Amino acid sequence: MNNKRLVFGERTYVMGILNITPDSFSGDGLFQGLDTVTAALEQAQRYIAGGADILDVGGESTRPGAQPVTADEEIGRVVPVIRALAKAYPEVILSIDTYKAKVAEAGLIAGADWVNDVWGLRADPRLAETALRFAAPVVLMHNRSKPTHASLEARLGGRYIGMTYTDLIHDIRKELMESVTIARQAGIKDEHIILDPGIGFGKTVEQNLELLARLDEIRALGFPLLLGPSRKSFIGYTLNLPPDQRLEGTLAASVVGILRGADILRVHDVEEIVRAARMTDAIIGRQGRSSTDRPLSSALTAG
């Protein structure tokens, strides 16, 4: 899979979101029964035409207040899609968005290259071993989501309230490194680890804004950084806009994210974000931010 090699620092990479769910917070769920694979392939084609480098396939909604699904149900949603994507677009990196080892294994067998775990290897102790067995890079996300702290507003959707941190950035850094330790203890190499600070997961609107403004302090941990601001509630509650009107807010958050060190942007509006990322990279001379300021290799090969 040499053609799937990413060189962090060379440019900003864009990950397109494929929600194979009926209840996505952004209203873009692609789970449509017999037509699911067709809908996913069409969305993937649009993303790739728009410049996506990675496609992230998930079968369980992670919005505040969402109902969990069983591993078997999740597998039934994502595996046919991943199998079809791997056949149709072999040059594109595929990521399986799950925190369950059983789902990850099925997705990797079907053709996924990465595992994107919103619980940073904390939810299922078998997931790290599964990723290691397939030599799959892992995205480790920070997450303090608690249903008791989720608040739902009809027009703006869910958000977290009353989340308490002793020191926001210190706590996030510490807990991300605890996930890194889990990965390392399982045998996963540092060059197969990507960190995600978890914008929108167990953080208030104000905490999300602070995290974005201080993202460089997370990047200082030395790992490639994935940022997922797309249509999130902190944008909606800041601008008083529902999910389908958050493009400009997502663009602003994405540009600030690049300036603060994000290597990958996980988004719904791929074409627009790719254009903004390319322009931002050109302005700041992205090639000047290479692996020289990271303690690990800047190159990551999928698989």
* Tokens found for residue 110: 């079907």
100 is catalytic: no
Residues 116, 194: Cα–Cα separation, whole Å = 9
Contacts with 93 (C-beta within 8 Å, 6 or more apart), sequence order: 4, 6, 53, 54, 55, 113, 114, 302
Residues 77, 73: Cα–Cα separation, whole Å = 6
266 is catalytic: yes
Of 81, 24, 80, which is closest to residue 55 (Cα–Cα)? 81
**Do residues 250 and 269 touch, judged by C-beta distance below 8 A?**
yes
Q: Residue 299: in which H helix or E strand, if any?
A: strand 299-301
**Do residues 43 and 53 touch, judged by C-beta distance below 8 A?**
no
**Active-site option among 77, 232, 260, 286:** 232
**Do residues 238 and 205 touch, judged by C-beta distance below 8 A?**
yes
* Tokens found for residue 192: 């197969």
Residues 13, 124: Cα–Cα separation, whole Å = 28
148 burial class (0-12, 13-18, 19+ CB within 10 angstroms)?
exposed
What is the per-residue DSSP string for 137-194? -EEEE-----GGGEEEETTTEEEE-S---SSHHHHHHHHHHHHHHHHHHHT--GGGEE
Report the catalytic residues: 232, 266
